[in-house]
Chains A and B, each alone.
Chain A
Amino acid sequence: MPRTQLSAALLGAALLSLGTSTRASAQLGSYNPAPGPQGTYAIKNAHIFPVSGPEIPSGTIVISKGKIQAVGANVTIPAGAQVIDAAGMNVYPGMMDAGTSIGLSEIPQGAAATIDIAEVGNFNPNAQAIYGINPHSAHVGVARVVGITHVISRPTGGILSGQAALINLAGFTVPEMSVVPHAAMVIDLPKAGGGGGRGGGAAAFLAAAGGANAQAQNQQRQRQMDSLRTLLRDADAYGKSQDAYAKDKTLPRPKRDAVLESLVSTVRGVEPVMFPADRASDIKAAVAFAEEMKLKPIIVGGREAPEIAGYLKQHNVPVVYTHVLALPSREDDPYDQNYNAPAKLAAAGVQFSITSGDCCSEVRNLPSVAGMASAFGLSKADALKSVTLGPAQIFGVADKLGSLDVGKIANIVVTDGDMLEAKTNTKYLFIDGRLVPLDTKHSQLYDIFKGKPLQP
């Protein structure tokens, strides 16, 4: 088979036809165009940013069977490969936002039926994001065309909110998107002074403001913590009894339990736990709880993490930092308190990743959010790492994702400039080794209305 020169025009034509067929779909559950097959591709003459190693000013990447097959300055392009001449373009590993709930929430105001983000009740370890994600959410297409190729999507609410999934942002079905279906358990510990869990939040604040009920609130929190501990211990015992029975069928057969079963890999420290926590005291409480219960903690939020960076480093706890764009929380905080938080975490040697700070529609801001952290002290290399290899390492998938290395999933972005700059355009996008059309609900509406003639 001869080597095919894949011209931009040819790709453009392919995308255009997809675009035309989807024009009527600007509505809920908007159709994101399908990625192509897992072909053999070679991206040549590119400025390559592998993240795991030094930049390659002019090199080639070969992709096939969904994986990166070769990366380097002197790579032989295999026969039959579709070749993209990326002269003047940059190539990066796809970005990962570890703080989203993409696919679980579409329109937060006025369309309650599009919100599947929080289960009823406090303890839902068996609520799995992977079963709630809408693969056709318009947010999926809009996020990926800026170069976000995979995300953690997590449930919220209650105390044991459920299980987060790591998904690729391409596919017509969730199984096609799934990378790690049970990427992390989410535990939102009831917070002292309110927040976290049902009965926390606004009700707790109001009660605390009244003063009289502060004690009752603390008691409720203690009861909830006790219930949580009991549940985790029960899961540990459940796992042991199932293992014992598997080895020795003469034992009485333990009854299966969907709730406890979903917690076994969590209590064994295999599946990490995402603890939403912002205040220093809440972060420390989560770390202490994780150590007490032998869990593998990841702090999500981490607003005051820089204040206890030494503690986090010492306990080897990573932070998924969500507040770069947030206003400082105290009046007398420096104006750049949150802009420079990632720089402080990096300086202290804390493992961290940066997120867009949004669950869904604004996840696409991720590159510029990381870039802004760089305007306030974080090195450009660390900013890039904080949205690629950093989150992959935190979630234990750095063997599969996060950098341009042989054997990794081919999630690759080709751009006409610095990927973190707001003005940069994506030229080609590969997810799971498939070429993804750069068409979204937004570009479809743009195509329809940009040439609308003036009515006489």
Chain B
Amino acid sequence: MRSRHESTQSLETSSMRHATRYAKLTLAAAGALAATAIAASALHAQAAKAGAAAPILIKNATVMTVTRGTLTNTDVLLSGGKISQVGKNIAAPAGATTIDGTGKFVMPGIIDPHSHMASDATNEGSLSVTSMARIRDVINPTAIDIYRALAGGVTTINVLHGSANTIGGQNAVLKLKWGRSGAEMVMPDAPPGIKFALGENVTRKNSNNINIPGIQAPPRRYPGTRMGQEEVIRDAFMRAKDYKAAWDDYTAKSAKDKTLMPPRRDLELEPLKEVLEGKRLVHAHSYRSDEMLMLLNVADEFGFHVQTLQHGLEGYKIANEIAKHNTGLSSFADEWSYKIEAYDAIPYNVAILMRAGVLTTINSDDDGRARRLNIDAAKLMRYGGLTETEAMSTITINGAKQLGIEKHVGSIEVGKDADVAIFNANPLSVYASVEYTIIDGEVFFSKEKDVAMRAAEAKERAELEKMEANMAPAGRGGRQGGAPGAQSSNAPENH
């Protein structure tokens, strides 16, 4: 299924997925897999820690800085977790690891502004306003897709709440430090954000026709139309303004009157108060141009800023209006036609928006797609004629700006975090693949090491599978039993 559309659909597809998974694996087999995965992650973590302190010097590469042009035969020195030098003939400091960059391309680590990776839950969609729910509470740092995204050159992701409700939960901006804890992945300097959502995923018109025996369709939940969505936002911000006024009053008067009681903290309205104060970024899922314009107008009325429109597939129809609001947009490169509100989506969206002056990015919204955002960026050169640097900016610096972290990441500049991906060819070529992905100066993906570890992992897996504890109980199917579920794990014939 297309998990990228995250919506209300995720609720059903994820339960289906779990059912599938459960049926495919006996508990014992599942245990064996989990054990293998954990062992693998431990190995990767060790590999990462080993390189932590040493500076890395990349010699003689083509360096796509994105903000300062593309430099050939250039060296990049990473030390102390930062990009410390970019230039020719840089001498290797003591203890530095040198990577021969001849024929290779260095680019800033890819930034994915719309992801649901590594979160154990996506939608708290039972209410129309769930601003109190936080993605950072459900980060799963062992999600294998983190590692797979690293292998695609991704270093930073914006993990968003789903789009089942008009005002969703709070996001988390992560650096993909595979092998570390969730807390170590959260980027401390990223301003907080919140997900809003408009259109079909919120009205849930696509999700009440479930036809799976044993799974009940969810009850209808207000709002069921775009009219209701406008009202939900209006109502929430009226309450948020009152709440803010109560706190402002208290703050002003409590200086003189220490006996005053503070207003009761409200976890739903607190994040919306921060939106009104410009301290929390709004990332609004939206498709049709009319709903985007509605949100921009309501935001004007209440005096808050919409940082980004997410998807915004019809953004090109109101590019000038979006530009006027200084709102960014994060689109798919070329996804379309998967639902009614995506039927007028065009791959020229990014080109039209960029030329109108909108800060534009592309995103994955999908763990599979996250691994090839460089190829999605290349498509923009075909559709609308973006230059190489413009195409690269949609997966690097522009995403950093949309997330308010451009001082730290998004380009290859001295002083920025040492987050880079090294490709064996131009990353905008379909023939390119990643050799190293580096975050804060540490190697978190090395193709060479990955390949070298495969034999050890296969051996470990084989040993685990042979253990008594990992054999399926008699009569319950499993690998040897031949019952349903056993079939996915036939022994490969040529091993």
Contact = CB atoms under 8 A, between A and B. Distances in A.
Given A194-B484, A361-B336, A206 B379 contact: no
Interface stretch (B92-100, B107-115, B221-229, B341-349): B341-349
A191 B186 CA distance: 43
B488 interface: yes
Interface string A308-326: 1111000000000000011
Nearest to B391: A423
A263 to B, nearest CB: 27
Interface stretch (B60-68, B242-250, B301-309, B430-438): B430-438
A71 to B, nearest CB: 26
Interface in B363-414: 367-368, 371-372, 375-376, 378-379, 381-384, 391
Contacts of B238: none
Contact of B430 (A336, A374, A441): A374
A197 to B, nearest CB: 14
A332 B457 contact: yes
Given A202-B212, A307-B494, A308-B493, A218 B348 contact: no
Interface string B16-57: 100110111000000001101100100000000000000000
Tell which of B148, B391, B454, B488 has the most Cβ of chain A within 10 Å: B488
Contacts of A307: 490, 492-494
Interface string A378-405: 0010000000000000000000000000
Question: Is the interface on chain A under 10, 10 to 19, 20 to 34, or 35 or more residues?
Answer: 35 or more
A26 interface: yes
A109 B348 contact: no
Interface stretch (B118-126, B277-285, B312-320): B312-320
Contact of A280 (B24, B337, B355, B492): B492
A335 B485 contact: no
Contacts of B355: 450
A374 B335 CA distance: 23
Contacts of B493: 280, 307-308, 310-311
B214 A327 contact: no
A360 B343 CA distance: 13
A331 B147 CA distance: 11
B88 interface: no
Interface stretch (A59-67, A92-100, A180-188, A208-216): A208-216
B147 A335 contact: yes
Contact of A106 (B337, B383, B384, B477): B337
B346 A423 contact: no
A298 to B, nearest CB: 21
Given A192-B484, A211-B476, A327-B145, A371 B430 contact: yes
A452 B486 contact: no
Given A206-B213, A214-B477, 6 more contacts: A110-B339, A280-B490, A326-B368, A329-B488, A332-B36, A336-B151
17 contacts: A108-B339, A111-B340, A193-B487, A203-B212, A205-B16, A205-B22, A206-B19, A209-B22, A217-B484, A280-B493, A304-B492, A307-B493, A332-B33, A360-B337, A372-B430, A422-B376, A442-B348
Interface of B: 5, 9, 16, 19-20, 22-24, 33-34, 36-37, 40, 144-145, 147-148, 151, 200, 205-206, 212-215, 316-317, 319-321, 324, 334-340, 343-344, 346-348, 351-352, 355, 367-368, 371-372, 375-376, 378-379, 381-384, 391, 428-433, 450, 454, 457, 461, 476-477, 483-488, 490, 492-494
Top 3 nearest A-B pairs (CB, nearest first) are A371-B430, A193-B484, A361-B337
